[in-house]
Amino acid sequence: MSDKANQKTEYSAEFSRSMQDPEGFWRDQAKQLPWFKFPEQILKTDAQGIGYWFADGEMNTAYMALDHHVENGRGDQLALLYDSPVTDTKTQYTYKQLTECVARTAGMLAKLGVNRGDRVIIYMPMIPEAVIAMLAVARLGAIHSVVFGGFAAPELAVRIDDAKPKVILSASCGIEVKRRIEYKPLLDHALELATHQPDCCVIYQRRESIAPLKAGRDHDWATLLAAAEPVGCTPVKGSDPLYILYTSGTTGKPKGVVRENGGHAVALKYSMSAIYDTAPGEVFFASSDVGWVVGHSYIVYGPLLQGCTTIVYEGKPVMTPDAGALWRLCEEYGVKSLFTAPTAFRAVKKEDPDGALMHRYNLGTLKNIFSAGERLDPPTQEWLMKTSGKPVIDHWWQTETGWAITANPCGIETMPVKLGSSTVPTPGFNVQILNENGQPVPRGVQGYIAIQLPLPPSCLNRIWGDDKRFSQSYLNFFPGYYASGDGGYIDADGYVFVMGRVDDVINVAGHRLSTGEMEEVIANHAAVAECAVIARDDDLKGQVPMGLVVLKGGVTLSEDEVQQQLVSLIRAQIGAITCYKDTVVVARLPKTRSGKTLRNTLSRLVNGKEYTVPSTIDDMAVIPEIADKLRARGFIA
C-alpha cells in the first residue's frame, strides 16, 4: 500500500495524537513551513487555559506565502487569477509577479510610514489589489484589518476608531450586479464620524469611477506605486498579530478578532492538506469576499501558503451572467476544490434545478465541493451531490478560529457523509456538548457546543484592545472551555451536528450579523418606543431579520412608512448586506416579569415552530396578539 493509502485509515490516530501530544503534533506541522527561526516554545498556556502558539518563532507570513515559493522554483506558476464578469476583466499573476507587486506595494506603504505593528485598514472590493494590499501589510510586519465593502460608513467608522489605522487603503468603487457602489463617499463619511484619523488614505482608482481626492489626506494609488521601491520581508514573532477581523457579537460593538502570524500559518497549511486534500500547484476556488474570514483564510493565505493557485472572483453565483457561473470558473481554471456558502448553492439550485447549466461544463478536475458559513441544509446537499456527482462537504467554523472546527478530513481519511452534519472534529479541536451547568451531555443530546482549552493554533486568544471582552464573550460561560455560541449535538459515531446560534447572532446568506446591533439602530428612530429583531427562516438566505416594533404614543406614521424608514436606516447605518426588509408594528412585546424580551419564543412563533410560553411572562395575552398580527401580514398560517 502507498503511504497515502496508509494515511487514509488514520483520522482517529491523527486526532488522538493531536489531543495527547499537542506540542509534538503541532511542532511537526510547523516544520512544513519556512521559518526564519524555528520556534522553541511551541505552546504556552496561562492560568485561564488560554493557549499561545509558536510565540518565539521568527517568520513572515507573506514570505511563507510568496517569496519562499519563488525561491523554490514556483516563480512561473500561476498564483492568483482574477475573474470579474461584472467588469468583463480577467488577469493572472504568477508567483513571481505577485511577489513583485506585493513587495512594491509594501514599499509604498513603508514610505507612508507604515512599520511593524502599525494597523492598516483595507476597505476594498474583490480586486487583486485587495489581496496585494493584505500581503503587503503582512510583508511589513504590520497588521491589516479588512472591512467588508458591503458595510455602511458608521460600521467602517467604528472599526477605524477601534483599530486606529495609520493608513487606510480603499478603491473608488465596487461593482454589484445592478449598481456601482461608490466607496469613496462612504470612506469620507466614515472619517467624518470617526474620532481617530489616519495619516492618509490611498485610493485605487478603478476605470469605472474616478473618485475626487481630498488634498493633504488622500493619495492616488497608481501614482504612489509608480514612485515606490520594492522592500523585503520584516521578520515578526509568531505571536505578533497578522490581522484584526471584526465580527458581530451580541452587542452593537463588533469584536476585533486578533489572528497571530505563527498559529495562523501553521493551521492553514495543515488544513490545506488534511481537510482540503490539496497539493502545491492545484487550483483552489473560494467564492467569498476578502472582507470575511473565509476570504482571508481560503482566498488569500491558505492557498498561497500551500503553493496553490487562488481565484479572486468579482461576481455572484447567479446573475453574472447565470447559475452556471461557478461551474464555468471550475472548467476554465481547472479547479480542484470549490468552497462557498449554502446560500450560493441554493441560489444556483433555484435557477438551475436540473443542472442543465452545470452540465454544460466539464467538471473533470473538480474533486470536492466544500460548504461553510451556515448550516448546509440536507435537501441542498443532496441535490448538489446528485447533480454534480461530487462529494459535497459541509464544515463548521467561525471568524474566531480562522479554520474548520469540524470537517470531513479528506486529506487524512474521507469519512462517509451524513446529511446535516459537518462531520467530525478537526485534529486539535476537543469539541464537547455541554448542558447549561457546563456538564458534558450524552451522545445524541443537544446542548451548547464548546471547545476544551487550549484551542489549537490560529484560534483567537484575545480581542483587539479589550482583554476582558475575550473572557466575557467566550470563556466565562463554562470554565475551561471556549463557548462557541452555537448549539448542537454529537451522534453515536462522533459526528457533530451544528443546529444554530444560541445567542443574538444571525446568519444571513452566510454573513454573520448581530440582531442586537440592528435593535440599537431601530431603537434610535424617533418613532420607536422599543423593538425586537428576530431571525426569520428564508429559503434562499437561510435567515433574514425581521423587526417587531412598538411605536411611541402619538406617532401617526403608517406601518408601511415605518417599515420604509427602518429599511433605509439599517442600510445607512449597517449596510444593505443585512437584507432587512420586514417590520411589524405591534402594541406590546412579550416580556418576562424581570423585563427580558422573549426573543426565542417570538422567533419560534414567526417560523411556525412549536413554542412554550414561560411562566415568568408578565402578560399571557401578548403572544396571541402578535400571532394575530403576523397572520394578518401573511408571515404565519
Interacting residues toward ligand COA by CB under 6 A: 149-150, 174, 176-177, 181, 287-289, 292, 294, 316-318, 340-341, 343-344, 347, 373, 509-510, 540, 576-577, 579
Tell which one of 130, 265, 300, 372 touches ligand AMP (CB under 6 A): 372
CA distance 545 to 513: 9
Whole-number minimum distance, CB 61 to ligand AMP, in Å?
20
Residue 200 contact among ligand COA, ligand AMP, none, beta carbon within 5 to 8 Å by kind: none
Per-residue x/- marks for ligand AMP, 237-256, CB under 6 A? ----------x---------
Whole-number minimum distance, CB 543 to ligand AMP, in Å?
10
Tell which one of 22, 51, 141, 373 touches ligand AMP (CB under 6 A): 373
Is there binding between residue 399 and ligand AMP (CB under 6 A)? Answer: yes
Tell which one of 33, 98, 190, 293 touches ligand AMP (CB under 6 A): 293
Residue 396 contact among ligand COA, ligand AMP, none, beta carbon within 5 to 8 Å by kind: ligand AMP
Burial of 58 (0-12, 13-18, 19+ CB in 10 A): middle
Residue 269 contact among ligand AMP, ligand COA, none, beta carbon within 5 to 8 Å by kind: none
Nearer to ligand AMP, 450 or 562 (CB): 450
Whole-number minimum distance, CB 319 to ligand AMP, in Å?
23
Rg value, the chain, Cα? 24
CA distance 318 to 349: 10
Residue 366 contact among ligand COA, ligand AMP, none, beta carbon within 5 to 8 Å by kind: none
Is there binding between residue 458 and ligand AMP (CB under 6 A)? Answer: no
Query: What does the DSSP assignment read for 111-174?
Result: HTT--TT-EEEEE--SSHHHHHHHHHHHHTT-EEEE--TTS-HHHHHHHHHHH--SEEEEESEE
Q: What are the Cα distances from residue 329, in Å, to 84, 199, 362?
A: 11, 40, 10
Residues contacting residue 161 through CB under 8 Å, at least 6 positions apart: 194, 195, 196
Residue 579 contact among ligand COA, ligand AMP, none, beta carbon within 5 to 8 Å by kind: ligand COA
Q: Which helix (H) or strand (E) holds 433?
A: strand 431-434
CA distance 273 to 411: 5
Whole-number minimum distance, CB 518 to ligand AMP, in Å?
16
Whole-number minimum distance, CB 172 to ligand COA, in Å?
13
User: How many of the other CB atoms lie within 10 Å of CB of 596?
Assistant: 12
Whole-number minimum distance, CB 116 to ligand AMP, in Å?
28
Instruction: Tell me which residue of 391, 386, 384 sits closest to 368, measured CA to CA.
Output: 391
Whole-number minimum distance, CB 47 to ligand COA, in Å?
35
Grid cell 465596487 in the structure block, residue: 174
Grid cell 451547568 in the structure block, residue: 437
Nearer to ligand COA, 287 or 426 (CB): 287
CA distance 587 to 596: 17
To the nearest 5 percent, what fractions of the chain are helix, strand and coil?
35, 25, 40
Nearer to ligand AMP, 128 or 295 (CB): 295
The CB-side HSE value for 65 (13 A sphere, CA atoms) comes to 37
Is there binding between residue 394 and ligand AMP (CB under 6 A)? Answer: yes
Burial of 73 (0-12, 13-18, 19+ CB in 10 A): exposed
Residue 144 contact among ligand COA, ligand AMP, none, beta carbon within 5 to 8 Å by kind: none
Q: Report helix, strand or coil for 274.
A: helix
Tell which one of 170, 172, 273, 398 touches ligand AMP (CB under 6 A): 398
Q: Which stretch binds ligand AMP (CB under 6 A): 83-91, 190-198, 353-361, 370-378?
A: 370-378
CB 367 within 8 A of CB 336: yes
Whole-number minimum distance, CB 204 to ligand COA, in Å?
15
Tell which one of 67, 352, 374, 504 touches ligand AMP (CB under 6 A): 374
Residue 176 contact among ligand COA, ligand AMP, none, beta carbon within 5 to 8 Å by kind: ligand COA
Is there binding between residue 289 and ligand AMP (CB under 6 A)? Answer: no
Residues contacting residue 96 through CB under 8 Å, at least 6 positions apart: 70, 75, 76
Residue 57 contact among ligand AMP, ligand COA, none, beta carbon within 5 to 8 Å by kind: none
| Grid coordinates given for 349 | 439550485
Q: What are the Cα distances from residue 367, in Å, to 86, 364, 374?
A: 27, 8, 22
Whole-number minimum distance, CB 308 to ligand AMP, in Å?
21
Which 459-498 positions form the footprint of ligand AMP (CB under 6 A)?
Answer: 485-486, 498
| Grid coordinates given for 608 | 411556525
Is there binding between residue 396 and ligand AMP (CB under 6 A)? Answer: yes
User: How many of the other CB atoms lie within 10 Å of CB of 454?
Assistant: 23
Nearer to ligand AMP, 82 or 292 (CB): 292
CA distance 540 to 377: 11
Provide the residue type at 315 as one letter. Answer: G
The angle subtended at Cα 329 by Cα 404 and Cα 325, nearest 5°, is: 95
Whole-number minimum distance, CB 392 to ligand AMP, in Å?
12
Q: Which stretch binds ligand AMP (CB under 6 A): 201-209, 224-232, 396-404, 411-419?
A: 396-404
Whole-number minimum distance, CB 558 to ligand AMP, in Å?
36
Nearer to ligand AMP, 277 or 486 (CB): 486
Whole-number minimum distance, CB 150 to ligand COA, in Å?
3
> Which residues make up the interface to ligand AMP (CB under 6 A)?
247, 293, 372-375, 394-399, 422, 485-486, 498, 501, 507, 512
